[in-house]
Chain A
Amino acid sequence: GAGVSQSPRYKVAKRGQDVALRCDPISGHVSLFWYQQALGQGPEFLTYFQNEAQLDKSGLPSDRFFAERPEGSVSTLKIQRTQQEDSAVYLCASRDSEETQYFGPGTRLLVL
């Protein structure tokens, strides 16, 4: 079946621009996670959804970061007024009932 998909795969933004990153999880997966992966590092947790409820946003680095999942399926991570330090790969994962998280290919964001 289809895996987790993310779009766009690459995004170049000028500093100060707003961006929106989309995640389509595996159909039927209740749990959805966003992670940020800096170059040469492991992914770091940003936020977690159970259906449409955002139960943990403790990893969001600032109030410029906002995530939503209004209908409990597709999720969008929005970054307002992007800064150079926001450059990273943003990963989305959905989880099955066996605790396994399935990752999308990521969106590579470069802020100039």
Chain B
Amino acid sequence: GNSVTQMEGPVTLSEEAFLTINCTYTATGYPSLFWYVQYPGEGLQLLLKATKADDKGSNKGFEATYRKETTSFHLEKGSVQVSDSAVYFCALSRSGGYNKLIFGAGTRLAVHP
């Protein structure tokens, strides 16, 4: 079946460090891929998405590239800030149909000054 695996947290970084959160998926067909972020005390927010192979999603300095050959969608940011501290969820939705989301377990990021 369809599934998402992401690296376990917590990830602890100093401000301005480089961030990578790994995400790999298993799916039939050509799913759409998403990164959602959950800030403390807030709901899930879409961070970025990619709908086909080799697409790059980007937002707020974060990037992720849809790699079909490695079934991956790793999240990167060149210089993290304290305000990036949150839980990050990788997710997929199957192509066609009504597109329910299948989430990974989430990765907690803590950035300290």
A binding-site residues for B, Cβ under 8 Å: 4, 31, 33, 35, 40-45, 48, 50, 55-56, 59, 91, 93, 95, 99-106
Contacts and interface: CB of A to CB of B under 8 A. Distances in A.
B51 A99 contact: yes
A51 B51 CA distance: 25
Question: Which A-B residue pairs are the 3 nearest by beta carbons?
Answer: A42-B103, A103-B44, A105-B43
Contacts of B42: 105
A76 to B, nearest CB: 19
Interface residues of B, number: 22
A101 B92 CA distance: 12
A31 B98 contact: yes
Contacts of A43: 44, 89, 101, 103
A95 B45 CA distance: 13
A50 B49 CA distance: 23
A103 B45 contact: yes
22 contacts: A4-B43, A31-B98, A33-B101, A41-B106, A42-B4, A42-B91, A42-B104, A43-B44, A43-B89, A45-B102, A48-B98, A48-B100, A50-B98, A56-B98, A93-B44, A95-B99, A99-B49, A100-B46, A102-B46, A103-B43, A103-B44, A104-B43
